Amino acid sequence: MPTLTDVGQLVVNGIMAGTILAVPAIGLTAIYAVLRFPNFALASHATIGAFAGYVANTAFGLPLLLSVIIAFVVAGAVGVATDEAVLKRFRPAGYITTAIASIALTIALENIVRFAFGNELRGYDLPIQRDWRLGAIRVGPQQVQNLVIAAIAMAALFGFLAFTRTGKAMRAVADNPMLASIKGINADMIGRLVNFVGMGLAGLGGMLIGLDTTIDPLTGFRSILSVFAAAVVGGLGSIPGAVVGALTVGIGEELCLLFLSPDYRSAVGFVAIVLVLTLRPRGILGQRAW
Give Cα separations from 123 to 16, 168, 181, 262 (angstroms): 20, 39, 46, 25
Instruction: Yes or no: say if 237 and 288 are a contact pair by the CB < 8 Å rule.
Output: yes
Residue partners of 137: CB distance under 8 A and separation at least 6: 5, 8, 9, 12
| Beta carbon of residue 254, minimum distance to another protein (angstroms, whole number) | 5
| Beta carbon of residue 240, minimum distance to another protein (angstroms, whole number) | 23
Residue partners of 146: CB distance under 8 A and separation at least 6: 16, 19, 20, 208, 211, 212
Residue 140 vs 241, nearer CB to another protein:
140
Residue 131 vs 188, nearer CB to another protein:
131
104 half-sphere exposure, CB direction, 13 A CA radius: 10
Backbone φ, ψ for residue 139 (5° rounding)? -130, 135
Query: Where do contacts with another protein occur on this chain (CB under 8 A)?
Result: 9-10, 13, 16-17, 20, 120-123, 127-131, 138, 140, 142-143, 209, 212-214, 216, 218, 222-223, 254, 257, 261-266
Residue 122 vs 282, nearer CB to another protein:
122
| Beta carbon of residue 147, minimum distance to another protein (angstroms, whole number) | 12
| Beta carbon of residue 212, minimum distance to another protein (angstroms, whole number) | 6
Residue 197 vs 215, nearer CB to another protein:
215
Q: Residue 122's closest CA among 57, 184, 75, 176? A: 57
Residue 27 vs 167, nearer CB to another protein:
27
| Beta carbon of residue 206, minimum distance to another protein (angstroms, whole number) | 10
